[in-house]
Structure formats: C-alpha cells, structure tokens
Structure 1
Amino acid sequence: MLNQDIHTKIIRSLSFDPWFNLALEEHLLNQIQPNEVIFYLWQNKDTVVIGKNQNAWKECRCKRLEEDGGKLARRLSGGGAVFHDLGNLNFTFIMDKNLYDLEKQLKVILNAVKSLGIDAKFSGRNDLTAKGKKFSGNAFYFREHSAYHHGTILINTDLMKLTNYLQVSKEKIASKGIDSVSSRVINLMDLQNNLTIDQMLQSLKQSFVDIYGGTTNEIQVDRDNYNIKDLYDKYASWEWRYGEAPKFDIVFENRFPWGGIQMGLSLKNGHITSAKIYSDAMNSKLIQKIASSLIGLPFDMNAILDTIKNIDTKDPIIITDIQNWLFQKSKQL
C-alpha cells in the first residue's frame, strides 16, 4: 500500500554538464523536506565520475579524457569510478533520511527494467546485473536528516570509451575473476535491441509513481533556469576534482572485499603531520574519519591501532579489517 503522506517530485536535468548535474544533486539534497522523496534523472556527456575518496590520476586517464573533450567529476558518495556518456542514464533518489529504504529504491529500478522485458537483479555490494553482467553501479550518501542513492543505467554506452578512460586496478579485476572492465559490463540494448533512452525514462518514472505515488509529470531543469553558481564552481574546481597529490613518506596499500585502500602518511619528528586515504569504499565518511584521526599521532603502530579501534562506526568490519592489515604491516616495519 502506498504511503499517501509521502511528497514526491520527479526532476529531470536537461543539461549534459556533469558539474551542473552534481551541483544540482547536492542542492536538492540541501533543500529536501521532511517526508519528501525526489526522483532525479540526468545524463552526462563523456565524463568520468570518481568517488569522494578516490585518487583521480589513479582511476582515470585524465589527460586523454580532457584532450578528447571529456570532463572529470567527483561526487559526494563513495564507491568507484564510472564512465558516463549519452548512452547512459543516471538516477538519484534524494529523500528525508527516515524514508531511506534501499530495497524499495532498487525495486523502482528493477521493475522499470523488467517492464521492458529484461530480467535484472541486485548483485554484490552495489551492482545491478542482467545475464550475469553489470549494467548499473550504485552509490550512497547520508547526512543527519537526508540521504541519497544514485546509480547508472548503461543503455547504449560506448564501451570502448569506458575502457579507454577508466584505469581499473589489476587487483580489483582479479578479485572479480575477470579479464577486463569491459568484460563485466553490458548495455541493455544488447538484450533489447530497440530500447531507447526515452523508453527507459518513461519506464522509470512510471515505476517510481507505482511505488511512491504522485504523478509522472517531471520538472525540467537546466543551467538557464537554475542558478546554483557556488555549488557549480565547487564541482568544476581543480581542488575538488583533483585535490592534492602530495608526496608521502609512507604508503600502505591493500584490497579488501569492501574496497581498495591506499593510505599515505607524512611524518615530521616521528609524528604524523598529514594523512590521506584513497579508497573506493562505499562509506566515504568513515574513510575520511580514519584519515583525520591519525593526524598528530606518533608513528607508532600501537597508537595508530588504538586510535582506529576506538572510532565509532556502523561499519565495524572496515575497522577490523584495517586493524588486522596494519597489525600485519607492523611486523614488516
């Protein structure tokens, strides 16, 4: 039964500029009202979008992308790098945090895809698959009173460009038992050859209304009728997209079931003066919390382990895995 008290909106961006679309996404998150759910639909032209804590140069062939007229963007959420072009459609559920329900949100996407004659399911930590191959990657971001869940839908994406611009670590590929990034993804058009972006848009809107209520009427937005300059400037800035790539005195690197991690530490007089953790872990805030907790500590593994152990989190597996890994590292120092 539908919850008649939920207020819904469908918003569609007519812009293909990733910096605008991500700025709009954050603006909508900032403006979300109690008991409200927004279904936001958007597309980017030739873009690599990296997770909040990822190293741009490690995940993307940045020079090649920009020389070809593409753009690099960084989102708020964790997770890995993805390629967007106009053969891909993005969705975001933006909502009052009390309404966050991953199963319900995924049902909107899965039902929309199934209504077009394609069998799909949720797989792994954040993928939607068909015929055993990924057509959608999902990521998540939470604040105190609001949240979002966003993802991609590969319909007719240029997989040659995807392979050309993304640099996926050999460890990540090996952990999934595959030979290349292109071998594990699929376009939905390969399963339904007459499928169009517009068909998917209409199917998604209808599925959203079937599950959340409201109407399929969409609010169309672009840069000409929506002024979010401050947020746009943030997403377009070098500092946000690339950040610093400092030289670290010590670098530790490993891959876990929940994601990869590269920890860089700078030292002075035996103390940690800066700490940076690059990761595609979904919990972007926890990764940042771990890094900031290390600053000022003596470079003593017992002190580091004690500090990490006492971090309050709902993801204890990440803390335990990092503790065990660093403890093993300490034996090699």
Structure 2
Amino acid sequence: MIFLDNEGITNPKLNLALEEYALRNFSADSDYLLFYINEPSIIIGRNQNTLEEVNQNYVEENNIHVVRRVSGGGAVYHDFGNLNFSFITDHDVKSLNNFKKFTEPVIRVLKSLGLDAELKGRNDILIGDKKISGTAQFSTGKRMVSHGTLLFDTDLAEVANALTVKMSKIESKGHKSVRSRVANISEFLKEPLTIEKFRNLLLEGLYEHSAGFETYHLTSGEWKEVHQLKEEKYDTWNWNYGRSPKFNIHRTRRFPVGEIDLRIFVEKGNIENFKIFGDFFGKEPVEKLEKLLKGARYEKLEIEDILKDIELREYFGDIPKIDFIELIYGEDKIEI
C-alpha cells in the first residue's frame, strides 16, 4: 500500500478532489492510503439534501465550508481536531459494504493505545457507548474508496451548532443523518497526544506488518488536474447544493398585514414551483411574484437579487422585504 502525501492541505474541497482524482486515475497495481485534516467544514453524503443537514445561517456566519462527497452516508463535521483516512483499493464485491475489513487496522491501532474500540452497527467505531468514527464507501465499479473520520480533539459544541437544522417543514427524499452520542479519542487517552503524533502512530500501526512503505508525492501536473477537479466540481453550488434530492417546503408566518403561507417545490436546487397563499390584501396578483421566483436557485443571494427592485407592499401591504426573504429561505422567527 502506498501512502499519498497531501502536502498538509486543509481545504476540504481540495482534499476531496485529491481523493477522487486518486480513485479514478492512479494505477490499479497498488492500493493507496490518504490522511487529511480539514478546516471547519460540513461534509454532506452523496444522497442528502444539504439544506436539511446544515444550519445554513450559522455556517455562513462562521465561514464553515459545506461540501458534498462522492460516498453515501450521513453529514459529518470536520475541523482541525478531526483526522480523516481513505483506503483506495480495487473494487471487490466482498469488500463493498464490508466496513469491518477497513476499520480493523484502525481499531487495532486504537487498541494498542489502550482504547477499548470496536465496530458497532454497520459502519461506526465506538469506545464504550460513544461514537468516535464513522465510515463510508464509494465504488466506480473498478476501484473503490473506503474512508472515515476520527474524532480526535474536535470542537463538539461546533458539531451541534453547525448540524442543528432550524429550517421548518422540509419534506425531502434525501437520506437524513442519524445523530449519535459522540466523543473525542483524546478523552480516553491515558497520556495526551497531539493530532500530528496520533496521525504518525496510526500510520506506523497500519504498516506494522509491512517491510516498509512508499510515500508518493503528486507531480505538478497531477496537482494541476486535482485543482481543476476542485474548481469544476467541489467549488460549485450545483454539486454541493444543487444535487440535493427534490424536496418540498411549507412555511407560514403571521405579519401585521395578515398570514403568508408559502409552498415551495425544489428540484436539483432550483425552484420548480412556488405558491403563495394567505389572508393578506394586496393590489397586484401574487402570481407575478410566483412567476418571478419559479426557476430560480433556492439560494438566498439569488432570491435577494430577484426581489431587489420589487415593491412587496403592492402584493401584501406593508411588509419588510427582509422578513419576506427570511420566510422564503431563512431559518428563524417562523411561526408554524
């Protein structure tokens, strides 16, 4: 197995691009191991509705990356206290969904540190009743990646803040995350370790039965292609948000002018249908507004741009535009 050096990169979009590039382009003659640590970020499973998983206002205010990965499973929070590992191997029917095979060497190293770690359920590593790792897989049919995250010394308060969704009444076909009781590996260690030392111990332990292992450094040409994949895929709204499964939103709020009731149908991140109901009085028919918003990205900045020159008092009476936009897209101050 060859160790891939990611050169200390902490940008999650670049690390995920590197992982996918290695999966699709590196020689099938060898297996590869990749470690990386990400800046604060939420990594969304391939089949999830992004807005159903993240506290959008919070991630925007705190500059937390939101990135979709190629594998399924639930949303996870990464920061500098979180170590991520990836095994890139040949596709094997017996290995696909066989999380035990790829977690066993990690568990062996954890046990060598005096930790009573074990695989529980389908794909989680626990110490006692606390989850310290989750894993996922993706296969191209020829090659596969089995990757996971190790909570070493992450900010668990931020996990709750970033993944606590307040968006009301979303009905989605996406696969919702199941929250577990989590803990940091550092809490169970008898002697304190830095995450860098932990990474090195893990790397040594994974190769303890090998005569030696090769470290591979990407060429400048390969890095150029990794950056191109990042820019064309992982940097894009279409991948991170637009690939969300279709979902419906029902949001209602009572204003001094009356109740406004919105029914929004979103598919591939775009508003496919937008209906306004309520007991308000207005001069202009709301069908004009509905038509304006139909086809728009379900994204706050785009909605603000569409409505920037619209006089909402013509449709509803005296209502602040910021409050109407909050009703369409925001997360707080909603009365159901």
- What band does the TM-score fall into relative to the shorter chain? 0.5 to 0.7
Q: Does residue 205 of structure 1 match 2:203?
A: yes
Opposite residue 2 of structure 2, the aligned amino acid is K
State the partner residue of 2:3.
10
Indicate the structure (1 or 2) with the bigger Cα radius of gyration.
2
Give structure 2 stretches of 5+ with no counterpart: 167-177, 251-264, 273-336
How far does residue 190 in structure 1 lie from its aligned partner after superposition? 0.6
SS at match of 2:85: strand
Give structure 1 stretches of 5+ with no counterpart: 1-7, 170-179, 252-263, 267-273, 275-333
CA contact (8 A) 1:115 1:203 kept: no
Which of the numbers 131, 141, 146 marks the counterpart of 2:143? 146
Opposite residue 218 of structure 1, the aligned amino acid is T
Opposite residue 128 of structure 2, the aligned amino acid is K
Number of residue-to-residue matches in the alignment:
236
Q: Does residue 71 of structure 1 match 2:65?
A: yes
State the partner residue of 1:86.
80
Distance 1:164 1:226, change over 3 A: same
Q: 2: CA distance between counterparts of 1:107 and 1:97?
A: 18
CA contact (8 A) 2:50 2:244 kept: no
CA contact (8 A) 2:99 2:123 kept: no
TM-score (norm 2): 0.63
Q: 1: CA distance between counterparts of 2:218 and 2:57?
A: 31
CA contact (8 A) 1:77 1:140 kept: yes
Q: 2: CA distance between counterparts of 1:118 and 1:205?
A: 17
How far does residue 229 in structure 1 lie from its aligned partner after superposition? 2.7
State the partner residue of 1:61.
55
State the partner residue of 2:131.
134
SS at match of 1:226: helix
Q: Does residue 191 of structure 1 match 2:185?
A: no
Q: 2: CA distance between counterparts of 1:158 and 1:38?
A: 29
CA RMSD in angstroms comes to 3.0
State the partner residue of 1:238.
237
State the partner residue of 1:304.
none
State the partner residue of 1:20.
14
Distance 1:210 1:265, change over 3 A: same
What is the identity percentage for the equivalent residue pairs of Structure 1 and Structure 2? 34
TM-score (norm 1): 0.64
Q: 1: CA distance between counterparts of 2:161 and 2:101?
A: 35
User: Aligned runs of 1:150-229 on 2, under 5 Å?
Assistant: 150-167=147-164, 181=179, 184-192=181-189, 194-211=192-209, 213=210, 215-216=212-213, 218-219=215-216, 226-227=223-224, 228-229=226-227
State the partner residue of 1:112.
109
Q: 2: CA distance between counterparts of 1:52 and 1:214?
A: 37
SS at match of 2:73: coil
CA contact (8 A) 2:48 2:244 kept: no
